[in-house]
Amino acid sequence: MEVIDKEDSRGYANIYLYWDLVWNPSDRDSGIYQKVYGTEFEVLKGDANHVEVSFRTQWDPSNRGKLVPLNIDKRFVMLQGSSGFYTYAIYEHLQGLPDVNLGETRVVFKLRKDKFHYMAIADNRQRIMPMPDDRGEGRSEKLGYPEAVRLTDPINATLRGEVDDKYQYSCDNKDSMVHGWISSDPSVGFWVITPSNEFKSGGPVKQDLTSHVGPTALSMFVSSHYSGVDTVPKFRNGEYWKKVFGPVFIYLNSAPDKSDPKLLWEDAKKQMQVEVGKWPYEFPASEDFHKSEKRGSVSGRLRVVDKYINKEYINGNSAFVGLASPGEAGSWQRESKGYQFWVRADVDGNFVIKNVRTGVYNLYAWVPGFIGDYKSSVNITVTSGNHINLGNLVYNPPRDGPTLWEIGIPDRSAAEFFVPDPDPKYTNRLYVHHPDRFRQYGLWERYADLYPAGDLNYTIGVSDYRKDWFYAQVTRKDGQGSYQATTWQIRFRLDSVRRNGPYKLRVALAASHLSELQVRFNNPRVQPAHFTTGLIGRDNSIARHGIHGLYWLFSIDVESSWLLKGDNIIFLTQTRGQSPFNGVMYDYIRMEAPAGTVVLDNGIVQLTLSKPEGSLTGVKDHGLDNIMEVMEKEDFRGAILTSFASSDDLRPAATDGGVTVHVEREYVVLDNGIVQLTLSNPGGFVTGVKYHGLDNVMEVNNREDNRGYWDLVWNPSDRHSGIFQKIHGTEFDVVQQDANQAEVSFRTHWDPSSRDELVPLNIDKRFVMLRGSSGFYTYAIYEHLQDLPDCNLGETRVAFKLRKDKFHYMAIADNRQRIMPMPEDRQPGRSQKLDYPEAVRLTNPINAALRGEVDDKYQYSSENKDSMVHGWISSDPSVGFWVITPSNEFKSGGPVKQELTSHVGPTSLAIFVSSHYTGDDIVPRVRNGEYWKKVFGPVFIYLNSAWTKSDPKLLWEDAKKQARVEEGSWPYKFPASTDFQKSEQRGSVSGRLLVVDEPGNNDSVNGNAAFVGLASPGEAGSWQRESKGYQFWVRADVEGNF
């Protein structure tokens, strides 16, 4: 802790931290800051395994107006063998105590500024930080509010010119489970780990502070950040209230001096997962903290009904589902007195909320891709030890008629809109080329730079919201230093104006700060406005770089008399102009036709019909707004409509028929109603994968044996150069088939007549499809019989080549994903060859934004341990194709062997054996009639989908979640081959690794984060060259246990 500060700014009673709060009486607006001092101390538990101490303060009426009218009991806990300590507190407002507002409470840690310089809050949000002295006069320039400064003469000169602002390091509750600081000398990490967010206010997407310059680390429990006073708990009329905040875990770890700080960060993340697994803790002495036996669980399945998207139920894929205090739909985001319990639903909408405190709740949910909030119709009472299965729940999102047009993505964030580059004078280098570029300072001022002569105009069908819709509707500074309101325009055409009911404009806001949004149609001066929100919001998300605050949804009835046939304009005026931070961020805007209208649109033709008559009133195609005679009455334009083709459903739904296998002379087709897999017969090549409106995700311009295939590189023992061979089956068999599962086999047996032409192995390729699964599995059994010729197996893999006209975005890690070049870009005339064939410099790529870049498939390699999921995303339709490897036991070389993943093609690989990054040392050599057999796989080929033009990260996050599902299902139970060992044929090994590294000194050091594995017998370190057998690896915990 910082030893120069006064003790009470570090802590007190030798604890070197402090709890604090901001409060105010109900009759006072300004907050009172107070550190929480204990007046009574007690050792509650003290033995060799567990110590818990209490520092209590009881409110005294003599302190009315001076100290918060709460009884507070702060606790600190230390466990034997634990590298850290826990802290939690019980806050209590007794009946009869004065009214109070609790604006903020938290626990604060101030570390040694001479040691802790490196801060980490996420994999891609970590850096060397300024010193606290850098924020003082003479070293910095004040900016628009006290928290933000520009460093003019920092102690670390490399930081000169950067902006420092603690709000640039805020994080959603759901993403803020571990953050902290690292000292390089000695190499020590200090981490705040929050194993559960149940005690935090505002739900999973409430943003709050984490760590910032100080060096300071926080655990925030209640605050008005990014929400305003709506999330401040208010106690009135003698209300009784009690709540437990925490425990949070303060974790300290260490590594060899001057090691990569990411080692400590990775270990802290691992410890966070350990703490999450222990929740709810068993050790707290307070009965107010509910242990597991006082908790229950709730499960169910959420589905969405939106007849204008799909006639069938739509799975609540990745829905946020939670329990919170009873209230109105969406009230959870403002709730702060009680506890909240949230999970994400799986791809089918299934959810299980575990470890719920006893109490009465509503079930709330919202689904990315749909507007509005779901709330259960009845209260849910959770009692000790019970499980409540709610069954199928149906959410009907707000909808009157078909979509005429839309702007944005309904995901409660403005991140998809245009976020400008910052003024070069006001940059935080962490956020240059970063997904969170919205966290740069001063972006609100860039609006006037980009629109100097007038406000934003957006034309439906021409403009692109990713480039043409500014992320926030902010004020404009005038020449006198004051701020003006702004009016944005949305321009659109109507072929005709329906008179059978009102149109509907849905306006979803991601944030609002002291703003009023007025909406007018075709007359910017009409008074009163056709619609106004009134004054709303105090979340201050514009100033605090939030990209979202509280969610607002407004549904506006649009009278047909306000609209015109032909060109129309909607005027959006944000009327308040007191500061640069007045404004709104939009989430999504949608214009709906009246309920009595049907609009069919497949992206090529838009068909409009009256309802219920079915008269054809408009056909929009190829630049013509309407090819029908617009002078005719609507019911005479298409008087007879006998049939029309409908587009595929936007989201696939499984049929009830289970899995089918259709065998033809040249093809075998596996189909489960979600995915259709076509394989050549008997070759076993993947010729087609049909999914979500794409007849084939594989590259249809390739030969059928060059789309999805197993291959290898081998050589006889007397020959050095490798022979490339695709594995062509010669025998086909349906191994298993029922409604729940199908498994097919494509075998090839080595024939002596093929000596030196084909690899001397018997190979059995398998493909498996399961009922209700959005993908398929593939594995293979390789066998070298005794007396077959000697051979070296240099490489084997399965490869998938996808449609180059669809799949342009590649993802292999959270921070390794991008738009990729086209395969043509690597050809002469579009590229320059570099030092080896795999590397080229793009000189004239099809996507001009890539000009000058290097492309090389080895730039996308990954270690086995980090390569569980990778693949490609198509934006239209929004479809992901993922190779998921649930275990590395069958791969060669152990956990840190590097290998290719996905690369330009678009190509995705699952590589099992290769000499990449190792050389010939790792090539399996089979000699002298040796018998050898190995199962490679199964790997899972997963396909997912989202609404059109959605953020590709949604599909990536879902693929990661599916990878964890597959990992949890390993070893699989479905493979029919007896060579694949199921769980009942497997065992386990455990232990603890200690290190002694000083002659004559028997004191041991814990094998913290050690790689520990089982591999074939050999010399120490031989595992990294081993490739014939299986390997099983884990990381030890901080104490060396594995």
Identify the three-state secondary structure at position 466.
helix
Q: What single letter denotes the amino acid at residue 869?
A: V
The answer to whether the beta carbons of residues 224 and 269 sit under 8 Å apart is no
Secondary-structure class of domain 660-968 per CATH:
mainly beta
- Angle in degrees, CA 329, 330, 331, rounded to 5: 95
What does the DSSP 8-state code read for residue 256?
Answer: S
Question: Residue 697: what pLDDT?
Answer: 96
Question: Residue 243: what pLDDT?
Answer: 98
pLDDT in tens, 102-152: 999 999 999 999 999 999 999 999 999 999 999 999 999 999 999 999 999
Give percent of the chain above pLDDT 70: 92
Greater confidence, 1 or 29? 29
| Structure tokens that stand for 224 in this block | 């008005």
Secondary-structure class of domain 403-592 per CATH:
mainly beta
Q: How far is Cα 330 from Cα 397, in angstroms, rounded to an integer?
A: 13
Q: How confident is the model at residue 957 (pLDDT cuts 50, 70, 90)?
A: very high
The Cα-based distances of 925 to 214, 786, 1008 in angstroms read 58, 14, 36
969-990 mean pLDDT: 95
φ/ψ (deg, to 5) at 871 = 165, -155
Tell me how crowded residue 51 is: count the other CB atoms within 10 A of its CB. Answer: 16
Question: Residue 607: what pLDDT?
Answer: 61
Sign of the alpha-carbon torsion through 432, 436, 438, 440: negative
Determine the number of helices (DSSP H) and then strands (DSSP E) in the chain. Answer: 5, 73
Give percent of the chain above pLDDT 90: 84
CB-side neighbour CA atoms (13 Å) of 777: 26
Q: Return the HEC string of 854-917.
A: EEEHHHHCEEHHHCCEEEEEEECCEEEEEEECCCCCCCCCCCCCEECCEECCCEEEEEEECCCC
Residue 622 has pLDDT above 70, yes or no: no
Question: Residue 557: what pLDDT?
Answer: 97
Question: Residue 257: what pLDDT?
Answer: 78
Question: Residue 998: what pLDDT?
Answer: 72
1030-1034 mean pLDDT: 97
Q: What single letter denotes the amino acid at residue 253?
A: N
Identify the three-state secondary structure at position 62.
helix
Q: How far is Cα 966 from Cα 958, in angstroms, rounded to an integer?
A: 12
Instruction: Decide the pairing of beta strands 374-375 and 536-538.
Output: unpaired
Question: Residue 636: what pLDDT?
Answer: 36
Residue 805 has pLDDT above 80, yes or no: yes
Q: How confident is the model at residue 599 (pLDDT cuts 50, 70, 90)?
A: low
The candidate with the shortest Cα–Cα distance to 407, out of 333, 475, 457, 474, is 457
The answer to whether the beta carbons of residues 580 and 144 sit under 8 Å apart is yes
pLDDT in tens, 747-804: 999 998 888 889 999 999 999 999 999 999 999 999 999 989 999 999 999 999 999 9
Q: How far is Cα 456 from Cα 449, in angstroms, rounded to an integer?
A: 12
Q: To the nearest 5 percent, what fractions of the chain are helix, strand and coil?
A: 10, 40, 45
Q: Return the HEC string of 839-869.
A: EEEECCCCCHHHCCCEEEHHHHCEEHHHCCE
Q: How confident is the model at residue 2 (pLDDT cuts 50, 70, 90)?
A: low
802-828 mean pLDDT: 95
Q: How far is Cα 609 from Cα 619, in angstroms, rounded to an integer?
A: 9
Asked if the 7-278 domain carries CATH number 3.30.1490.20, the reply is no
- Angle in degrees, CA 196, 199, 203, rounded to 5: 85
Residue 614 has pLDDT above 80, yes or no: no
Rg (CA), the chain: 31
Q: How confident is the model at residue 266 (pLDDT cuts 50, 70, 90)?
A: very high
Return the beta strands (E) in 666-720 as ranges.
Answer: 667-671, 675-680, 686-691, 708-715
Q: How confident is the model at residue 595 (pLDDT cuts 50, 70, 90)?
A: confident
Identify the three-state secondary structure at position 482.
coil
Domain boundaries, the chain: 7-278, 292-395, 403-592, 597-636, 660-968, 987-1035
Residue 830 has pLDDT above 80, yes or no: yes
Identify the three-state secondary structure at position 563.
coil
The candidate with the shortest Cα–Cα distance to 845, out of 825, 827, 819, is 825
pLDDT in tens, 273-321: 999 999 999 999 999 999 999 999 999 999 999 999 988 999 999 999 9
What does the DSSP 8-state code read for residue 1025?
Answer: G
pLDDT in tens, 464-494: 999 999 999 999 988 777 899 999 999 999 9
Q: How confident is the model at residue 651 (pLDDT cuts 50, 70, 90)?
A: very low
Instruction: Decide the pairing of beta strands 839-842 and 854-856.
Output: antiparallel
Greater confidence, 195 or 654? 195
Residue 915's Cα: distance from chain center in Å?
Answer: 34
Identify the three-state secondary structure at position 315.
strand
The Cα-based distances of 708 to 244, 677, 689, 711, 797 in angstroms read 55, 11, 10, 10, 11
Q: How confident is the model at residue 620 (pLDDT cuts 50, 70, 90)?
A: low
Find the helix or strand (DSSP H, E) in which 344 lies. Answer: strand 341-344
Mark 680-718 as b/e (b = at least 16 C-beta within 10 Å): bbbbbbbbbbbbbbbebbbbeebebbebbbbebbbbeee
Residue 888 has pLDDT above 60, yes or no: yes
| Structure tokens that stand for 794 in this block | 């240099």
Q: What single letter denotes the amino acid at residue 460?
A: I
Residue 597 has pLDDT above 70, yes or no: no
Identify the three-state secondary structure at position 331.
helix
| Structure tokens that stand for 546 in this block | 């939030």
In this chain, the answer to whether the domains covering 292-395 and 403-592 adopt an identical fold is no
Identify the three-state secondary structure at position 931.
coil
Average pLDDT, the chain: 91
* CATH number, domain 292-395: 2.60.40.1120
Q: How far is Cα 233 from Cα 23, in angstroms, rounded to an integer?
A: 10
Question: Residue 769: what pLDDT?
Answer: 96
- Angle in degrees, CA 406, 412, 413, rounded to 5: 90
| Structure tokens that stand for 441 in this block | 């300072």
Instruction: Decide the pairing of beta strands 457-459 and 486-494.
Output: parallel
